[in-house]
Amino acid sequence: MVSRRILKYAILGLLSKEDMSGYDITSEFKKAIGQFWSAKHSQIYVELKKLLDEDSISQYIEMAGVKLEKKMYSLTTKGKEELQNWLLELDENVETEKDIFALRLYFLKDIPAEEIPALFNNQLKLRTEKLAFLKEQFSFYFGVEKNPLNLDAEELGHYFVLSKAISREENYICWLNKSLEIIKNKNADNSLR
């Protein structure tokens, strides 16, 4: 059985590197991991409570400054085992990706023909900006020339996720351009009739 509580494992994974406070975990979700696995502040705190109740994580108080107490979370042996088991699970099917633009296109017949190019152009703009951001991240973390064979396991994981995102956006942009060509040809064609 493939587990559905993915946020649980995202949190266990973060804690496998070092102990963290709830604030630290929330900040991590605003950084790299949040780019491909988003979670809300409120969801994270609900999950932390569950994980404590289930003894997958434990809690201790750390003094931060003179008066400030920070609740720190750390993995228990059970949590470590659960994370390990989850990492080794084989997926049974490909997760359906939610793509709002694809949903709109599915109902293309209800979109006035003259409006369609603008919809594609807007996607092109957004996707091109996203790709530029991803490439910036890539060169920030890995430089332009970095050989993945020289990366340690943690860097390599980041490398894979980031390079996958870049391939996806390049491919999406390619598909948008091809589709836009079809739409332009079709509009030109229809206006002749």
Residues in touch with ligand FER (CB under 6 A): 32, 35-36, 134, 137, 158, 161-162, 165
In the complex, least distance from residue 136 CB atom to ligand FER, rounded to whole angstroms: 9
* Other beta carbons less than 10 A from residue 84's beta carbon: 11
In the complex, least distance from residue 160 CB atom to ligand FER, rounded to whole angstroms: 8
Nearer to ligand FER, 161 or 183 (CB): 161
Residue pointed to by tokens 């994270």: 44
Q: How far is 129 from 110, CA to CA, in rounded Å?
A: 28
In the complex, least distance from residue 55 CB atom to ligand FER, rounded to whole angstroms: 30
Buried b (16+ CB within 10 A) or exposed e, 137-168: bbeeebeeeeeeeebeeeeeebbeebeebeee
In the complex, least distance from residue 34 CB atom to ligand FER, rounded to whole angstroms: 9
Nearer to ligand FER, 62 or 129 (CB): 129
